[in-house]
């Protein structure tokens, strides 16, 4: 048994000593079988929420209306959820009500995919009524029971399936795939924030290329923010090189591929944080500059190393070229730059005002930029004496001697 489960054993034991059943459940079991890092360990129990709270000194009601209590134990926290079944779902996203049950089997039966419907007892024995271990072995994503029912219950499960496809490198089995094609339109009932969360995980996965192609093939793409009827734009732009791009680079690639009328408005539809949105748009701007002309020292300096590498990577991916053949040259330029930031310039605004005997104004920003460019292009050394001499020759009419 892996250390994260061993650490949580006292929680299981406390519940069992009080006469309740308790098992490890969920993604932690799946990840342990895949040899992936196990992070959050979740527990399912026959104890009701109030009974769980009575057994532990420190608890938090994180989702008590759904039967979940957060137990704080030994510097760690565990979500402990009562065995439950769910009633009819409303709006294809949440159940009308939750009913507590005494059966682990009924609890596992309500879960989304067979690979997530495996439990483990305190001895490490697996309880796998829906052959989830077999699905994991075969790298197969399939729903527990009818995919039509699972997707009508919660339409976000379709996005979760595609996210797992990218994260785990699994294939979605044919029955589940057919149901996604039929019920793709139900995604419009899901909150944008939930869709964005799944889409970001998809982009962070090991196979975003295959996952994005699947979104196009099943028409799920049309129900994502700003991507209605964009399949014909995105599909031709997809290529396996996308599997080597980072999440932020993939956002830039996506925008370049579909060319929305307003890139900023497109990103706002996803409700991304402002800083992230601005960083994506900044990189996009340099991809466009790179498309217009090759890099030079000043353009690289203006971009900054990370943005320049990101922009070159996206530029190469769009052209189906190997970015690894290009980015070392960019990194070499940065290593050889006399300055990589204006703060490293051997002159500041006050020095220039004193030198020219002038008050501040728009001219100051322009002059600093001129000096910056001269230093970067090797026209003058980054030393105040050299810069003063260069300025005296360059702007003799402005210097008061």
160 in a labelled binding site: yes
Alpha helices in 186-273 (DSSP H): 192-204, 208-218, 231-234, 247-258, 263-269
pLDDT tens, 214-245? 999 999 999 999 999 999 999 999 999 999 99
CA dist., res. 240 & res. 320, Å (int) = 9
Please indicate if the annotation marks 40 as binding a ligand: yes
Band the pLDDT of 401: cuts 50, 70, 90: very low
- Closest to 229 in 3D by CA, of 194, 186, 258: 258
**179 close to 142: Cβ distance less than 8 angstroms:** no
Query: What separation in angstroms does the CA of 115 have from each of 93, 131, 267, 343?
Result: 21, 8, 33, 53
CATH of 139-238, picked from 1.10.110.30, 2.40.100.10, 3.40.50.1110, 3.30.160.40, is: 1.10.110.30
Residue 262, annotated ligand binder?
no
Question: Which of 255, 259, 260 lies closest to 283 in space, CA to CA?
Answer: 255
What is the rounded (10 degree) CA torsion for 316, 320, 325, 326?
-10
* pLDDT range class, residue 250, cuts 50, 70, 90: very high
Q: ∠ CA(378), CA(384), CA(389), 5° rounding? A: 75
In the numeric block, the tokens 């137990």 are attached to 71
Angle ∠(141,157,84) on CA atoms, nearest 5? 100
What integer pLDDT is reported at residue 111 of this predicted model? Answer: 94
* Residue 75, CA atoms < 13 Å, CB-side half-sphere: 2
Spell out the domain ranges in the chain: 1-130, 139-238, 263-337, 343-394
Q: Is 121 annotated as a binding residue?
A: no
The total number of residues shown for the chain amounts to 401
The domain made up of 1-130 has a fold known as Beta Polymerase; domain 2 (3.30.460)
What pTM was estimated for this model as a whole?
A: 0.90
Judge: domain 343-394, CATH 1.10.246.80.
Answer: yes
Average pLDDT over residues 99-103: 92
pLDDT one-digit tens code per residue, 384-400: 999 999 999 988 876 55
Please give the average per-residue pLDDT across 258-280, as a whole number.
Answer: 97
Q: Per the annotation, does 163 bind a ligand?
A: yes
219 in a known ligand binding site: no
Whether 13 shows a pLDDT value over 80: the answer reads yes
Rounded to whole angstroms, the Cα distance separating 341 from 337 reads 10
310 is in an annotated binding site: no
What three-state secondary structure class fits 71?
strand
| Dihedral, 366, 370, 376, 380 alpha carbons, nearest 10 | -140
259 is written with which tokens? 């060319």
Sign for the pseudo-dihedral over CA of 65, 66, 71, 75: negative
320 is in an annotated binding site: no
Is 178 a known ligand-binding residue? Answer: no
Q: Is the pLDDT of residue 90 over 70?
A: no
pLDDT at residue 89 tops 80:
no
């Amino acid at each position: 048994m892996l250390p994260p489960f061993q650490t949580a054993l006292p929680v299981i034991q406390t519940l069992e000593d009080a006469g309740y059943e308790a098992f490890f459940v969920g993604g932690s079991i799946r990840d342990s079988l895949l040899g992936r890092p196990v992070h959050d360990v979740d527990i399912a129990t026959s104890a009701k929420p109030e009974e769980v709270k009575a057994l532990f000194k420190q608890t938090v009601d994180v989702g008590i209306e759904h039967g979940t209590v957060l137990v704080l134990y030994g510097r760690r926290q565990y979500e402990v959820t009562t065995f439950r079944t769910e009633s009819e779902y409303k709006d294809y996203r949440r159940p009308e009500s939750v009913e507590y049950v005494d059966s682990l089997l009924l609890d596992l039966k309500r879960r989304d995919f067979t690979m997530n419907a495996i439990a483990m007892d305190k001895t490490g024995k697996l309880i796998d009524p829906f052959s989830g271990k077999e699905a994991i072995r075969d790298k197969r994503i399939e729903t527990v029971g009818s995919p039509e029912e699972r997707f009508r219950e919660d339409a976000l499960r379709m996005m979760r399936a595609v996210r797992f496809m990218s994260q785990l490198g699994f294939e979605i089995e044919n029955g589940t795939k057919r149901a996604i094609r039929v019920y793709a339109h139900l995604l419009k009932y899901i909150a944008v924030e939930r869709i964005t969360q799944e889409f970001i995980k998809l982009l962070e996965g090991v196979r975003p290329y295959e996952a994005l192609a699947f979104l196009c093939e099943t028409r799920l793409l049309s129900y994502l923010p700003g991507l209605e009827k964009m399949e014909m734009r995105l599909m031709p732009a997809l290529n396996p090189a996308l599997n080597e791009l980072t999440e932020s680079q993939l956002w830039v690639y996506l925008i370049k591929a579909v060319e929305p009328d307003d890139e900023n408005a497109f990103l706002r539809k996803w409700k991304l944080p402002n800083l992230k949105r601005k960083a994506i748009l900044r990189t996009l701007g340099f991809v466009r500059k790179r498309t217009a002309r090759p890099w030079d020292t000043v353009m690289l300096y203006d971009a900054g190393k990370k943005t320049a590498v990101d922009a070159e990577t996206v530029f190469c991916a769009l052209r189906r070229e190997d970015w690894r053949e290009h980015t070392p040259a960019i990194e070499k330029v940065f290593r050889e730059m006399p300055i990589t930031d204006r703060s490293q310039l051997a002159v500041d605004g006050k020095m220039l005002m004193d030198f020219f005997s002038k008050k501040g104004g728009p001219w100051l920003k322009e002059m600093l930029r001129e000096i910056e460019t001269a230093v970067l292009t090797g026209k003058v050394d980054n030393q105040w004496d050299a810069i003063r001499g260069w300025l005296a020759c360059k702007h003799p009419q402005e210097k008061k001697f």
